[in-house]
């Protein structure tokens, strides 16, 4: 059995098992005995050749991702996953070179990749903001036979690259299903979308999935998506104006694609409106709004686990020659509501 299989059998993480194998501190005697008994029971034998190879070589992976004021949780969560991977595989020779660029200055990503290439890096994890820039980067790296994992956002023009992230179309369908359950009597749904996402293929896939699933429910009607929003003030004004419209135009539910649930929740609280509200991602500014049910449900993707998985895929290919035939690795979609918020 592999360490991963043994880990699942005994309910102890691979990281802890590695610590036992390498006689590291920080593991209780009881856990050490449990691990040792399991290794003996399942006849686990370390691959000494791979281990020796790893001890004498270094494997560098470059991560180049964005940072954003409106989505600073993204960089934070990804950083947690990278740190976890480094803790697990660092003793086997893994080194991470990390660079983050301003989401509004995508040319910085191209410059960071160029610099890493000059330093000999040939394995990359990339999270991007500009479709045009990432196409330039991928064309360059593929010509030079570099290993590439796209994190969080895929590129349709380059289907042979690894991708770790969510199925955006399915996440949109899930959002529609949530509102169908939250609005059993039916009604009108408002879908705000910021201008910066208007040409974002992943966001449009979410919207498409939402619309397709909504077609199966005759009781729900969606207002035309509002694409003209460019910031916090515009989001507030658009929603406040809509709430003052004639009764047949007022929203009975909201599907947020601005990724500023904090702004929308604040408007609903100030206007003292209880309207079903569904959106994506969990960040600190909206915890209170989930706790008081202003936000009814979040569709959550574990970015930390995605980043860890991306590193692990590249490291195992570099170190052990483990090449995966499956290119698209979709993360599990989870639903967060008031009663299970404590677990996230």
Among 302, 188, 206, which residue's Cα sits nearest to residue 248?
Answer: 188
Length of the chain counted residue by residue: 344
How high is the pLDDT of residue 52? 47
The Cα 82–Cα 248 span in angstroms is 49
Average pLDDT of the residues in 130-157: 95
Q: What is the SS3 assignment for 98?
A: strand
- Of 228 and 315, the structure prediction assigns the larger pLDDT to 315
Q: What is the SS3 assignment for 154?
A: coil
The Cα 57–Cα 319 span in angstroms is 9
How high is the pLDDT of residue 196? 67
Which tens digits make up the pLDDT trace of 180-201? 999 999 999 999 998 766 678 8
Q: Is the pLDDT of residue 53 over 60?
A: no
Residue pair 207/257 in contact (Cβ under 8 Å)? The answer is yes
The Cα 72–Cα 174 span in angstroms is 25
Residue pair 149/314 in contact (Cβ under 8 Å)? The answer is yes
Place of tokens 């009764």: 247
Region for residue 341 given its phi and psi (left: phi exceeds 0; alpha: psi -120 to 50; beta: otherwise) = alpha
- What are the tokens at 55? 């001890």
How high is the pLDDT of residue 47? 62
Which tens digits make up the pLDDT trace of 252-264? 999 999 999 999 9
Q: Is the pLDDT of residue 239 over 80?
A: yes
Phi/psi at 110 (nearest 5 deg)? -60, -45
- Biggest CA-to-CA distance, the chain: 73
Residue pair 39/33 in contact (Cβ under 8 Å)? The answer is no
DSSP single-letter state for residue 285 = G
Residue pair 236/267 in contact (Cβ under 8 Å)? The answer is yes
With a CB cutoff of 8 Å and minimum separation 6, the contacts of 101 are: 64, 65, 66, 67, 108, 109, 112, 129
Mean pLDDT of the chain: 91
Q: What is the SS3 assignment for 13?
A: coil
Q: What is the SS3 assignment for 51?
A: helix
The Cα 264–Cα 283 span in angstroms is 14
The Cα 30–Cα 7 span in angstroms is 16
Q: What's the pTM value of the predicted model, to 2 decimals? A: 0.81
C-alpha separations of 288 from 60, 215, 264, 296 in Å:
40, 33, 13, 12
How high is the pLDDT of residue 264? 96
Q: Is the pLDDT of residue 46 over 70?
A: no
Which tens digits make up the pLDDT trace of 263-304? 999 999 999 999 999 999 999 999 999 999 999 999 999 999
Q: Is the pLDDT of residue 71 over 80?
A: no
DSSP single-letter state for residue 25 = S
- What are the tokens at 33? 């005995």
Place of tokens 């610590």: 19
Q: Contacts by 138-141 with C-beta closer than 8 Å and gap 24+? A: 140/113, 141/113, 141/117
């Amino acid at each position: 059995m592999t360490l991963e299989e043994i880990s699942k059998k005994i309910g102890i993480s691979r990281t802890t098992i590695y610590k036992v194998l390498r006689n590291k501190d920080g593991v209780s005697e009881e856990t050490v005995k449990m691990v040792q008994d399991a290794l003996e029971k399942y006849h686990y034998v370390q691959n000494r050749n791979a281990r020796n190879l790893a001890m004498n070589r270094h494997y560098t992976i470059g991560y180049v991702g964005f940072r954003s004021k409106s989505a600073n949780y993204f960089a934070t969560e990804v950083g947690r996953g990278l740190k976890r991977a480094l803790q697990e595989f660092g003793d086997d020779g893994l080194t991470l070179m990390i660079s983050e660029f301003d989401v509004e200055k995508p040319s910085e990503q191209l410059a960071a990749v160029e610099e890493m290439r000059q330093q000999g890096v040939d394995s990359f994890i990339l999270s991007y903001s500009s479709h045009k820039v990432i196409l330039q980067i991928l064309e360059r790296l593929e010509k030079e036979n570099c290993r590439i994992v796209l994190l969080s956002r895929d590129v349709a023009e380059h289907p042979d690259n690894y991708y770790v992230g969510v199925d955006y179309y399915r996440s949109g369908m899930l959002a529609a299903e949530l509102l169908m359950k939250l609005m059993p009597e039916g009604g009108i749904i408002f879908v705000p979308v910021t201008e910066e996402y208007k040409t974002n293929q992943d966001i449009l896939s979410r919207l498409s999935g939402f619309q397709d699933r909504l077609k199966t429910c005759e009781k729900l009607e969606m207002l035309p998506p509002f694409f003209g929003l460019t910031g916090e003030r515009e989001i507030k004004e658009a929603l406040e104006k809509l709430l003052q419209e004639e009764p047949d135009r007022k929203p009975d539910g909201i599907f947020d694609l601005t990724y500023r649930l904090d702004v929308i929740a604040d408007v609903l609280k100030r206007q003292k409106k209880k309207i079903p509200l569904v959106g994506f991602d969990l960040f600190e500014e909206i915890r209170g709004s989930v706790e008081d049910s202003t936000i009814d449900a979040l569709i959550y993707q574990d970015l930390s686990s995605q980043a860890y998985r991306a590193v692990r895929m590249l490291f195992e290919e570099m170190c052990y020659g483990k090449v995966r035939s499956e290119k698209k690795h979709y993360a599990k979609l989870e639903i967060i509501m008031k009663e299970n918020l404590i677990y996230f």
